[in-house]
Chains A and B, each alone.
Chain A
Amino acid sequence: MSLLLTIKLALTNIRTNKLRSGLTMLGLIIGIASVIILVGIGKGATESVTNEMSGLGADLLTVYIYDGQTTISYSDLDDFLGLPNIDAIAPYKSLSASVSRGNVKLEYFNLLATNENYLDVMGYDLGEGRPFSEIDIENSTKAVIIGNSIAEKLFNLTDPLGKTIKINGDDYTVVGTLTAGSSMSEADNILLVPLTTAKYLGSNTAVSQLYLKTDNAENVDGAAKEVKSYVETNYNIDSDSLNVYTNTGILESMKEVSAQLSLLLGGIAGISLIVGGIGIMNVMLVSVTERTREIGIRKSLGAKRRDISKQFLIESLVLSLLGGIIGILTGIGCGALINTIVAYLGYSHIFALSPGVVVLSFSVSAAVGLIFGSFPSYRAACLRPIDALKQE
């Protein structure tokens, strides 16, 4: 009998036992759907943990030249972008100045002269106003971006945007403020000015410290080596006077967390699939017992062992694949629903669908059907025609 006909036959049998087939599939549907949801949430969680970790600088390189004389000139900085995996550069100079507004005065305040990439590289969020632009850097605009605590000190409860403060006696306009940081944030006490305004503050634009942002936290170590040898050869510095820091410790713990998370979710998913598979085997065994007489009749009409086993195996396969497909769709639907609800509550998404899991779930459903269907079909195929026929 052809495969197509056998599939038709399987569908007929599944349809005539709608309730039972539905309940069996339900086991698998729940199994597959929870795989999709759990792995999706695992992936979503890993993504947000990765983002969080990037905020803590796992993807960051800190270059620090401390021989006291060598500096990198502002115009040479772009050369670092030519190095592999380097996405952005934020040079900075730490300068001491007196900062005041009205009666409030902060003496010997440490402010940072930097470029337009600093906020992005450090993962700081601009609350109000605008970031620095290249034009600010080019024109040495007397602009300033201030952290939350500074804003409170200088402006009390009034809106600082567009107002001026005095730095070493010159007027600087507040163009942006940073959002109040999390507990770990240094952002609250920061005061940024464009790198090129350093010349008004008794310094110049050549830097000995810079942050480099890599494209991915995974590539940080490789990039560090490249940067180190690049600076050593091009600036003729011996390695004692140069430090390229990374935060690999953070990266390691991040990897560990996501590996454990995946393992846990994978375990839960695996258990639910086995349960679903046993459900299928159970139903197929019942189905074989119930249809013993049908098997006898088919054998008396010339069905070979493989005709019978094929019939039951394909039925189990069709059942599990149907369950798998419905489960995949249910899982995706639930994931989308979760994201919608979470978005409504004002959080970012926590479910991320990966195509790999869909393909895997589909293959697993097929495997479940084959593995758990093979024993019942073998049982059916081995029945002796006369015994099967005499069964009531």
Chain B
Amino acid sequence: MIQLIDLTKSFQMGEETITAVNHVNFQAEKGEFISIVGPSGSGKSTLMNILGLLDTADSGTYLLNQEDVTTLSDNQQAVIRNAKIGFVFQSFHLLPRINALENVMVPLLYHGYSEKQAREKALFYLDKVNLLGREKHLPKQLSGGQQQRVAIARALSCDPEIILADEPTGALDSKTGTEIMGLMERLNEGGQTIVVITHDMSVAKRARRVVEMHDGNLKEGEDPQ
């Protein structure tokens, strides 16, 4: 479903050139639960931003369902982000001035659903992450774990092909983190394709496949089972 061929991305820092992603080949199939591990600064986030069409690679090919997405226009990429990709970030990235329900509605409204349809769907996904009753709360009125669950509901709202989560438990205490990972596992059991970035091995172990990054290089890890 996802195929990266010889993908490279580097940053210029003054005199120095940092190659954050170095000739990476990677493949993910529908229904997989993959975790990407590696030390800080190894290029995990950069790779995920490229996977999520938030950033572009310098060279290489990115095929999404056999379609080359590197050459698409801004607007076409926006449509793919909206319909096919769901993001979960370490710092939640909820819009602070609108409530939980409205946050989940945002991608649905960009998708073209009417306000009424969007509300119904958003409530459905808030129910799925066990947050019914909190939908009128502003993000700052929710705990970290609750905020991350709103973010997951939002990522799920347009029924994406893949969920990309960049250290989703990084800002949470370990008990809440375990809950969030449990939620991810259940979603995966329901057929949802998920890629999780983490540097916490106990988190990574819950995935069925682990890949490691080191200085921009990607290496298939041992089967955790």
Q: Is A1 a contact of B109 with CB atoms below 8 Å?
A: yes
Quick one: CB contact mask for B73-115 with A, threshold 8 Å, 1 for yes?
Answer: 0110011011100010000011101100000001101110011
Residues of B close to A13: CB separation below 8 A:
97
Q: Is B25 an interface residue when CB atoms closer than 8 A count as contact?
A: no
Q: Is A304 a contact of B74 with CB atoms below 8 Å?
A: yes
**Residues of B within 8 A of A (CB-CB), count:** 27
Q: Is A12 a contact of B98 with CB atoms below 8 Å?
A: yes
Partner of B54 from A12, A303, A386 at Cβ < 8 Å = A386
**Residues of A within 8 A of B (CB-CB), count:** 23
Residues of A close to B55: CB separation below 8 A:
384-386
Q: Is A299 an interface residue when CB atoms closer than 8 A count as contact?
A: yes
Residues of B close to A293: CB separation below 8 A:
93
Q: Is B188 an interface residue when CB atoms closer than 8 A count as contact?
A: no
Partner of B154 from A2, A301, A305 at Cβ < 8 Å = A301
Q: Is A305 a contact of B110 with CB atoms below 8 Å?
A: no
Q: Which of A293, A294, A297, A300 has the most CB of B within 10 A?
A: A300
Measured CA separation A190–B49 after assembly (Å): 97
Q: Which of A12, A293, A301, A305 has the most CB of B within 10 A?
A: A301
Q: Is A299 a contact of B75 with CB atoms below 8 Å?
A: no
Interface secondary structure of A, over-half rule: helix
Q: Is A302 an interface residue when CB atoms closer than 8 A count as contact?
A: yes
A380 shortest CB reach to chain B, Å: 13
Residues of B close to A386: CB separation below 8 A:
49, 54-55
Quick one: CB contact mask for A298-314 with B, threshold 8 Å, 1 for yes?
Answer: 11111111110000000
Q: Is A16 an interface residue when CB atoms closer than 8 A count as contact?
A: yes
Q: Is A389 an interface residue when CB atoms closer than 8 A count as contact?
A: yes
Q: Is B38 an interface residue when CB atoms closer than 8 A count as contact?
A: no
Measured CA separation A16–B140 after assembly (Å): 15
**Contact (A303, B78) CB under 8 Å given A1-B110, A386-B54:** yes
Residues of A close to B110: CB separation below 8 A:
1, 298, 301-304, 307
Residues of B close to A359: CB separation below 8 A:
none
Q: Is B93 a contact of A300 with CB atoms below 8 Å?
A: yes
Measured CA separation A298–B103 after assembly (Å): 10
Measured CA separation A211–B23 after assembly (Å): 101
**Contact (A305, B98) CB under 8 Å given A5-B109, A300-B81:** no
Quick one: CB contact mask for A261-305 with B, threshold 8 Å, 1 for yes?
Answer: 000000000000000000000000000000001100111111111
A343 shortest CB reach to chain B, Å: 49
Partner of B81 from A5, A12, A302, A305 at Cβ < 8 Å = A302
Contacts of B102-149 to chain A: CB distance below 8 A: 106-107, 109-111, 114-115
Q: Is B168 an interface residue when CB atoms closer than 8 A count as contact?
A: no
Q: Is B52 an interface residue when CB atoms closer than 8 A count as contact?
A: yes
Measured CA separation A384–B52 after assembly (Å): 13
9 pairs of residues in contact across A and B, judged by CB atoms under 8 Å? A5-B115, A300-B54, A301-B110, A302-B83, A302-B158, A384-B55, A386-B54, A389-B54, A389-B93
Chain A contacts to B: CB under 8 angstroms:
1-2, 5, 12-13, 16, 293-294, 297-307, 384-386, 389
